[in-house]
Structure 1
Amino acid sequence: MTDLAEAYLAYIERVRRYSPNTVKSYRRDIGMLLDFLGTEEGTFDPSLLTADDIREWIVALSESGLKPSSINRMLSACSSFFKYLLREGIVAGNPFAKVSSLKTPALLPSFIPEGRMAALVGELSAEMEEATDFRSMRDALVVLFLYATGIRLAELIAIDRTDFGPEFRELHVTGKGDRERMVPVVPELRRRLFEYMAAIKRDDICKSGEKALFLTEQGRRISRTEVYRIVRGELTALGVQGKRSPHVLRHTFATHLMNGGADLREIQELLGHGSLNATQVYTHNSIAQLKEVYAGAHPRGNRK
């Protein structure tokens, strides 16, 4: 990685406050461009990069089997790098501005249908009531928590017990870009949180004074990998097909709010989206659901 690239990565980490995962992704994407150019330390001259060079890189990436969405993500990261170089006066222009993104199919967020999710919530609640060990109770609560709040995986991991208001009635979340928001905690989730806290005390889990809400059995803050394992394992055991990730539960939360008549800006606030554009995708899920209902119920619904 060249000095210019390292300076940019330090900028987005320390000044722009990008998440560690985003910085890691940008490092990988910019590194792949530099590898394609055959750049060695100290030999990179960004002013020599042309739009034709970038198009050759796109062809090479496509031939390697990368999806258009992945290539577009890499182009975006490298374009941001060159915007930084332009602001710093290192280059006279951004060659990425002359290159069009690849067309990608419009994909709707995956989510679990409302009827199925209601049954899952009942099963997870029963699982917590019947649990005789801390781990089983925690695993069920992780899935319930993600669905009931719609928070991101990174936000779930970062929650401290001190982030709640009195009696677990609300949760204060710091999301992307250090944007803060308040998420209400529904009564069912509050009840399960009290049970979970009692289990921590009963089993003497938190011996080190760790403030994290979700803990390992050794009393340490839970990891991303562990949350992925929990969600996938719980949803698989409950018979969920397709994608089974923490983000699917976030999509499910937002889609169910939209279908229930929630205002788009209210959903934006609950999700912590910086732009309304990011939230509008859930309107498409609602339209898709309406089409399915129409096709199944209307006497002319199955006609072309």
Structure 2
Amino acid sequence: EIREWILHRSEADSLGAASMNRELSSLRSFFRWLLHTGHVEKDITSRIPALKTPHRLPAFVPESRMTAIVGDCETDSDDPIRERDSLVILMLYACGLRLAELIGIDRSDFSDDYRTLRIRGKGDKDRIIPVMEFVREKILRYLDLIQRQNICKSGEKALFLTVKGERVSRTAIYRIVQRELGRGGVQGKKSPHVLRHTFATHLLNGGADMREIQELLGHASLQATQVYTHNSIARLREVYAKAHPREKGGK
């Protein structure tokens, strides 16, 4: 009967696998409670497997469009908030950071010369990542502006500050990313994680080793990093179709 209910919900109500799995989880919890309280003698949901969800490739910004966005972000401004927003985009893309990692950066997390950055990742695992020169220049300019305009006069240690000198929120970062990527002509999903995916995909397409990308991303296992090989394979197929003499000759 439960299998029939699953079929009905998925077909008649047009529910996807992920939505059905959430309903199944609630149903399992209910039956565990029934079993625990003695209302039923057997949990009939225990042997029903979760539905397979379709595998989606990570969204990323094409290199040509990202190059234009980075160029806009590198343009200097005397407005510290504008410089902050540009730095948010540059660091998400150039460092491959998670949203929580970006928000959690303190000014003291940089080396003395601002060429490396200590990141506190998942599971309180620290990693050291290099800071590219174009990002370093923007960091130094931003720090100079917030110092001269007394934005960091409070005891707040955060790198990214509001106009009141407080650490920026997750919502604020999301809005910055959505606005800047939208301004750059990016279609579809626009989020901090899209820039992290873009970082990894562009590195892989440029010939970086998978293990090196894993270390830069702070992934605990290589399996989490290997999802980006699908994007790279798609790119290789495109190159093959355009460049291989047999493929060109067959058209």
Q: With structure 2 as the length reference, what TM-score do the two structures score?
A: 0.83
Answer yes or no: is the 8 Å Cα contact 1:69–1:104 preserved in 2. yes
Task: Note the aligned Cα RMSD (angstroms).
Answer: 2.9
Give the superposition deviation at 1:244: 1.3
Aligned-partner residue type, residue 208 of structure 1: S
Matches within 5 A, 1:185-200: 185-200=131-146
Classify 1:139/1:64 alpha carbon distance in 2 versus 1 (closer, same or farther; 3 Å): farther
- Match of residue 106, structure 2, among 140, 154, 160: 160
- Match of residue 52, structure 2, among 82, 85, 103: 103
Give the superposition deviation at 1:295: 2.2
- Spell out, residue by residue over 1:243-265, the C-alpha distance to the aligned partner (whole angstroms, 9 max, x if none): 21111100010011111221111
Give the superposition deviation at 1:226: 0.5
Give the superposition deviation at 1:69: 3.2
Map of 1:68 onto structure 2 = 17
- Spell out, residue by residue over 1:13-69, the C-alpha distance to the aligned partner (whole angstroms, 9 max, x if none): xxxxxxxxxxxxxxxxxxxxxxxxxxxxxxxxxxxxxxx869957965886655323
- Spell out, residue by residue over 1:124-149, the C-alpha distance to the aligned partner (whole angstroms, 9 max, x if none): 101xx1x2311111111100110010
Distance 2:179 2:195 in 1: 14
Answer yes or no: is the 8 Å Cα contact 1:54–1:96 preserved in 2. no
Give the superposition deviation at 1:288: 0.7
- Spell out, residue by residue over 1:211-252, the C-alpha distance to the aligned partner (whole angstroms, 9 max, x if none): 011011111100111000000101111112222111110001
Map of 2:85 onto structure 1 = 139
Matches within 5 A, 1:72-91: 72=21
Map of 1:235 onto structure 2 = 181
Answer yes or no: is the 8 Å Cα contact 1:231–1:246 preserved in 2. yes
Aligned residues: 239
Distance 1:73 1:94 in 2: 18
Distance 1:78 1:144 in 2: 45
Answer yes or no: is the 8 Å Cα contact 1:62–1:68 preserved in 2. no
Q: Residue 182 of structure 2: SS of its match in structure 1?
A: helix
Q: Residue 231 of structure 2: SS of its match in structure 1?
A: helix
Give the superposition deviation at 1:106: 2.4
Answer yes or no: is the 8 Å Cα contact 1:58–1:71 preserved in 2. no
Give the superposition deviation at 1:72: 4.3
Give the superposition deviation at 1:76: 7.8
Q: Residue 244 of structure 1: SS of its match in structure 2?
A: coil
Map of 1:182 onto structure 2 = 128
Give the superposition deviation at 1:174: 1.3
Distance 1:260 1:296 in 2: 18
Q: Residue 113 of structure 2: SS of its match in structure 1?
A: helix
Matches within 5 A, 1:1-304: 66-72=15-21, 98-126=47-75, 129=76, 131-301=77-247
Give the superposition deviation at 1:115: 2.4
Answer yes or no: is the 8 Å Cα contact 2:9–2:15 preserved in 1. no
Answer yes or no: is the 8 Å Cα contact 2:117–2:128 preserved in 1. yes
Map of 1:42 onto structure 2 = none
Q: Residue 181 of structure 1: SS of its match in structure 2?
A: strand
Q: With structure 1 as the length reference, what TM-score do the two structures score?
A: 0.70
Structure 1 stretches of at least 4 aligned residues deviating more than 4 Å after TM superposition? 52-66, 70-80, 93-97
Distance 1:78 1:182 in 2: 44
Classify 1:300/1:62 alpha carbon distance in 2 versus 1 (closer, same or farther; 3 Å): same
Give the superposition deviation at 1:279: 0.4
Give the superposition deviation at 1:75: 6.5
Aligned-partner residue type, residue 85 of structure 2: D
Classify 1:191/1:296 alpha carbon distance in 2 versus 1 (closer, same or farther; 3 Å): same
